[in-house]
Structure 1
């Protein structure tokens, strides 16, 4: 029996990346910053691409995958702390002047992407 989920995740990732790129392109063409929703759209496309790679391994639910999930969240925690420190530093020295909604959307997108990308890296390593 053929497992269609990796292909489905990949196609969903393509659609999400296309629509996220379209939102960014529309913002650039309007001489305005991209919509904050575009960052979340791109983060969801990263999640879909990562799950297309990880699904065959994650469906086994063995000890290796539990360890990959645990280590991925552990490493992502420190990366998210680094993102927070970097944004605080950039805001404090006034190199960026973003509003709160944009910062929350970018941090959320970075946090979501970091967890799934770290799972892919750890799945290749273990």
Structure 2
């Protein structure tokens, strides 16, 4: 029995429930959800991805090194695209964000992109 895999899955459920509760609470009060919800949902994605990837990450072989390299490259490219889109969007007032909201959104996007790209590349290789 692999308890690390189960613990990551339980953490994913915990973060999902917390994020869902905060979204429901904000809808019930007719307000916009806090930007911290994005990070909680990103942590849920990270936990579920780590639950899937844990048996493969225990192996320290060439395949896992290749998956990590490709995943980091894809995440870097996505980060540059995110920064470009946010820069253009803020410059031309396509959307109005505070610095705190922007940092929370970027953090959530980076966390999600890194771990989803690792899962995708682990399926490919």
- TM-score normalised per structure 2: 0.94
Aligned to 1:107: 106
Deviations, residues 75-111 of structure 1 (Å, cap 9, x unaligned): 1001011111111122222121111100100000100
1:16 counterpart = 2:15: yes
Deviation beyond 6 Å, 4+ runs, structure 1:
none
Query: In the comparison of the two structures, how many residue pairs are matched?
Result: 125
Q: How does 1:22-101 map to 2 (within 5 A)?
A: 22-101=21-100
Structure 1: distance between partners of 2:79 and 2:33 = 23
User: Shift of residue 62 of structure 1?
Assistant: 1.1
Provide structure 1 residue ranges, at least 5 long, that are not aligned to the other structure: none
Provide structure 2 residue ranges, at least 5 long, that are not aligned to the other structure: none
Output the aligned Cα RMSD.
Answer: 1.1
- TM-score normalised per structure 1: 0.94
